[in-house]
Structure formats: structure tokens, C-alpha cells
Amino acid sequence: MTEQALKHTTQDDLKLYIGGAFVDATEGKTFDNYNPFTNEKINAVAEGTAKDIDRAVEAARYAFDQGPWGRMKVKERMTYIYKIADLIDEEVERIAYLESLDTGLPISQTRNMVARASENFRFYARMVESRLVGEAYQVDDEFINYTVQKPVGVAGLITPWNAPFMLETWKAAPALATGNTVVLKPAELSPLSANLFAEVVDRAGLPEGVFNIVHGFGETAGARLVEHPDVELISFTGETTTGVEIIKNSASTLKTVSMELGGKSPFIVFEDADFDRALDACIWGIFSFNGERCTANSRLFLHESIKDRFIEALKERVLNIRLGNPLDPNTQLGPLIHKEHWDKVTGYIELAKEEGCDVFTSEITGENKRGNFVAPTLLLNATNDMRIAQEEIFGPVMAVMTFTDEEEVVRLANDVEYGLAGYVWTNDAKRGHRVAHAVEAGMLWVNSQNVRDLRTPFGGMKNSGIGREGGHYGFDFYTEQKIIHVAIGEHRIPQFGK
């Protein structure tokens, strides 16, 4: 690891965090972690296998069944959760640095994202204090029935590389706040910030085994977590194909699963839209976070009457986007996570040419040539039936299409397997609502880029997922609903066998 990087972490090579201690993998194996800007090795990471998942689950199980966590008063448990939030705030700079070093995401963007991670904890502490409530049903004068929500047990969390720290905290916060214990399997391509997360939890003083991290590969460590009989639930964010595999593998132990999967979200601009704001939002939505964003607007639908002007403006902006070192605060677009992902994204750009698109892009120059850069790219003259308009590319690449009327654009927007997000731009309020209702996606924004309110449900329909995270919606997932029926009168009991 470079000297500068070392200043941001207390661990050179990364260990696993199990039962309140940083430990090597049982089999002593490690894998190498690479910097996407230089493609040089950053460090080695302990490669957890099934045996390490078993160790971590055992620690989490013990902490849940025997430890103080499950018995703690809510107020006391929340002091730990608030403490984690405070410690994340103290570490924002270090975490953002490691995140950008590891993923290639520009530091100006990881700073904002990491700053939001502490809010995940505060938000869920407040939610548990105020909204983790039951319901009561009076049945005549005979019964009072009431519900309680209990933590489920050991929560298995599996996260992707595109927003590692944000997503790890987004899952761990509700899981811990509702009283579960956790085994987290971070993405193998972005392990750095996860160990700072473990350090933060360690410093917050959580009881041993409540929170555990096992690095490793999906097919080994991830798969074992999914099939482990002592893990009650799996919260997964990642590719749709991986989600399908996890659902299959979790079936034999009948786990509850939450699936946040891929997307191919439409961005619809009607002729009466606020042109400049729509342009800003469109550029941000596809080219921020290097285009490696589940809710990216990777399909743009422009009304025929504004298409020429909009495309000209897009081209001008594309040429101005600043590519560069992700650690430079002026950089707007960094390198893709990995050479293999670069192959995939550039493969789609080649496919776009074969499918008949005109490709418009900027140039990659100087030191950027050695990283996994893909310049911001417009696939002009695309049609919705092309593979580049149907499949998730997950890079700074947008298919640009046109439409003539509302009915047509709704049909095109919905003619895709995914259903995560959608964006509608119009100054006709009725049309805005109407189209938002009609587009098949879990989250719609009207005259806005992707802005989140943590109280609202997050998730997709169709091939974009199952279930919703966020707000009190997460409670259903991380808690077991119980109904208690209490007789308060002398209701009639069947006289059986008398």
C-alpha cells in the first residue's frame, strides 16, 4: 500500500472481523486488491471461505442467542447506533479517500455519499425509537389481539462494489437497530472501506459477535452465507443474475430475502419541460458515479420537437466532463472499477456500432490512458429493441431515443425487463403524475434528479428486485411480526369429546 493510503487506514493488508477481533482467514489465503486508476495492487485481503463464514455466523448466533444485544433496552442499544454515526462523521475524509482509491469514484462524490452513511444510523435509531410500533385489534369484548416485532436473528448482508460504504451502512443500520446480529460479505472488488466500518463498530464498543465482516468471493463466502442454516435472512444488492442464484440457493433453508437488483431506467423529456434543468439532471443521472449506478438514466427518451437542441447540448456537456484521478477533487468521472468491467462496457459500445448507433464520446488523454476509463458516451439513433437499450451496461453510456406522444413513450419505457427507477420531465402537472403512475418502476421522479428521502421506500419491480428498503418498510424485513391473541372475556370454547 502506498504511504499516503496507509495514512488513511490502520491496516495494511485487510483482515476479517469476526467475534470482535481482526483475524486472518482460516485457510490463510489472500487475494489482491487493485487500484482502478493505475491497475496496480493496493493491498492483499484475507480471503474468507465457507469455514470463515461458519465462524462468523457462529459468533453472530451466539451474540444473538446468549449475548446482551438482544436483551438490551432499546434506549441502550440506540446509544451504540448513535455512537457509530458520530464515529463515521469523524472518519468521513478517511473513508471517502479509501472508497475513491478502491473504486475509482471521484472523491467529490464519495465525500457526499459517505457523509450520508452516518445519517443511515441516526435515521434508523430515530425510526426504531418512534416507529417500531405494533397494532392492536379489539374483537368485541372477547379478545385483544396485538402485534409485536421481534428481531429475526442473524442477518446476512451481501453488497456490491458501486457504492460500498453507503450500501453496507444502509443495510447494517436497520439490521442492528432492530436488534439483529450481522454477518456482512462486502464485494471483493471494493474491500477497503469495509474495514474502516469494522473499526468504527469496534470503537463504538458493540458486544462481540454482533457485527462481523467476512471478505471473499461470491461463489464461496457469499454462497455459504446464503445456504447457512443459522442465517435467517439475506439482504442482497447486486446484479439480477446473482439475485436469481441467491434466491435459488436460499430456498432449501427458507430464508427471507430482499433483492435490490439492476436497472435500465428511462428519462423522459416532454416538449414543455424546463430544458436546462432537465439537461442538468440527465447528465448527472448517467455520468455521476462513473455511470456505475443502479438508478442511472441509461435510456433517454426525447420528444421529437426538442431532440436536436437537446442532443447538441448533451454533446457539448459530454466534451466538458472532466476525467481524471479519482482522488483529485476536480475530477467528475473516474475509471471503472476493474479491467473486466471495462471490457464489458466497451464491448457494449462496440455492439452499439454494430446495432447501428452513432457513438458520440470524448477523448481519453494523458495519464488517464493507463486506467480503466470509459469516456462519457452517447449512443445516438438508438432504438428500444437494441440490446444496448435493453441490457444493463453499468457505465457512463446512455442510449438516446425519441418519441412523438405520451402513449408511445410509456410503452417504450415499459418495454424492458427492469423496473427500478424512472424520470419524467414536463411542466404539465397532470401529465407528470399520469406518466409516473404508468411507468413500471419502483421509484419515479418528476422534474427532479434522483433525490432520496430516507423515509420513503427504495426498491424496484420486475427484474429490478423484490421488497423495499428504507423507512419503516425495512422493519418488515428485519423483524418478525408476531400476533398475540389475549382472551379478555369468556368466549365460547368448543366442547370437544365431552
Residues 174-203 as x/- pattern, contact with ligand NAD by CB under 6 A: -----------x-xx---------------
Using the minimum distance from each CB to ligand NAD, give the nearer residue, 106 or 291: 291
Per CB under 6 A, does 405 bind ligand NAD? no
Other CB atoms within a 10 A radius of the CB of residue 446 amount to 16
Of 23, 133, 49, 194, nearest to 475 by C-alpha is: 133
What angle in degrees, to the nearest 10, is found between the helix axes of 107-131 and 74-90?
A: 170
Using the minimum distance from each CB to ligand NAD, give the nearer residue, 194 or 210: 194
Sign of torsion over alpha carbons 222, 226, 230, 231: positive
CA distance 36 to 59: 34
Per CB under 6 A, does 263 bind ligand NAD? yes
Please name the residue ranges forming H helices in 371-472.
Answer: 387-390, 406-414, 429-438
CA distance 430 to 415: 23
From 89-97, 107-115, 118-126, 219-227, span contacting ligand NAD (CB under 6 A)? 219-227
Candidates 47, 58, 188, 294; catalytic one: 294
Per CB under 6 A, does 223 bind ligand NAD? yes
Per CB under 6 A, does 420 bind ligand NAD? yes
Cα–Cα distance list, 458 to 44, 237, 345, 355, 361 (Å): 34, 12, 26, 34, 32
Using the minimum distance from each CB to ligand NAD, give the nearer residue, 212 or 426: 212
From 76-84, 137-145, 254-262, 478-486, span contacting ligand NAD (CB under 6 A)? 254-262
Of 189, 187, 213, 186, nearest to 199 by C-alpha is: 213
Q: What are phi and psi of 32, to 5 degrees?
A: -90, 145
Candidates 99, 188, 245, 260; catalytic one: 260
Per CB under 6 A, does 245 bind ligand NAD? yes
From 133-141, 171-179, 235-243, 365-373, span contacting ligand NAD (CB under 6 A)? 235-243
CA 441 to centroid of chain Cα atoms: 16
Q: ∠ CA 314-318-321 to the nearest 5 degrees? A: 135
CA distance 63 to 22: 17
Q: Is 37 exposed, middle or buried (0-12, 13-18, 19+ CB in 10 A)?
A: buried
Residue from the set 218, 422, 470, 471 that interacts with ligand NAD by CB under 6 A: 218
Residue from the set 141, 219, 354, 408 that interacts with ligand NAD by CB under 6 A: 219
User: To the nearest whole angstrom, how small is the minimum distance from the Cβ of residue 261 to ligand NAD?
Assistant: 5
Q: Looking at residue 458, what DSSP letter applies?
A: B
Number of residues in contact with ligand NAD under rule CB under 6 A: 30
CA distance 48 to 61: 18
Per CB under 6 A, does 262 bind ligand NAD? yes
Using the minimum distance from each CB to ligand NAD, give the nearer residue, 61 or 264: 264
Per CB under 6 A, does 116 bind ligand NAD? no
Per CB under 6 A, does 417 bind ligand NAD? no
Using the minimum distance from each CB to ligand NAD, give the nearer residue, 310 or 478: 478
260 is catalytic: yes
Per CB under 6 A, does 159 bind ligand NAD? yes
Per CB under 6 A, does 301 bind ligand NAD? no
Residue from the set 113, 173, 226, 413 that interacts with ligand NAD by CB under 6 A: 226
Please name the residue ranges forming H helices in 228-338.
Answer: 240-250, 275-287, 307-320
Host H or E run for residue 303 = strand 299-303
Q: Are 261 and 129 spatial neighbours (Cβ–Cβ below 8 Å)?
A: no
Residue from the set 101, 201, 206, 246 that interacts with ligand NAD by CB under 6 A: 246
User: To the nearest whole angstrom, how small is the minimum distance from the Cβ of residue 197 to ligand NAD?
Assistant: 14
Residues 12-41 that bind ligand NAD (CB under 6 A): none
CA distance 232 to 482: 16
Contacts with 11 (C-beta within 8 Å, 6 or more apart), sequence order: 22, 195
Using the minimum distance from each CB to ligand NAD, give the nearer residue, 263 or 422: 263
Please give the residue whose beta carbon sits closest to ligand NAD in the complex. 218
Of 249, 43, 32, 273, nearest to 156 by C-alpha is: 249
From 122-130, 239-247, 305-313, 354-362, span contacting ligand NAD (CB under 6 A)? 239-247
Per CB under 6 A, does 160 bind ligand NAD? yes
User: To the nearest whole angstrom, how small is the minimum distance from the Cβ of residue 105 to ligand NAD?
Assistant: 12
Beta pairing class for 233-237 and 21-23: unpaired
Residue from the set 121, 161, 301, 425 that interacts with ligand NAD by CB under 6 A: 161
Beta strands in 125-255 (DSSP E): 136-139, 143-151, 154-158, 181-185, 211-213, 233-237
Per CB under 6 A, does 392 bind ligand NAD? yes
Residues 451-490 as x/- pattern, contact with ligand NAD by CB under 6 A: ---------x----x-------------------------
294 is catalytic: yes
Q: Which residues are catalytic, by number? A: 260, 294
Binding site for ligand NAD (CB under 6 A): 158-162, 185, 187-188, 217-219, 222-223, 226, 237-239, 242, 245-246, 260-263, 294, 392, 394, 420, 460, 465
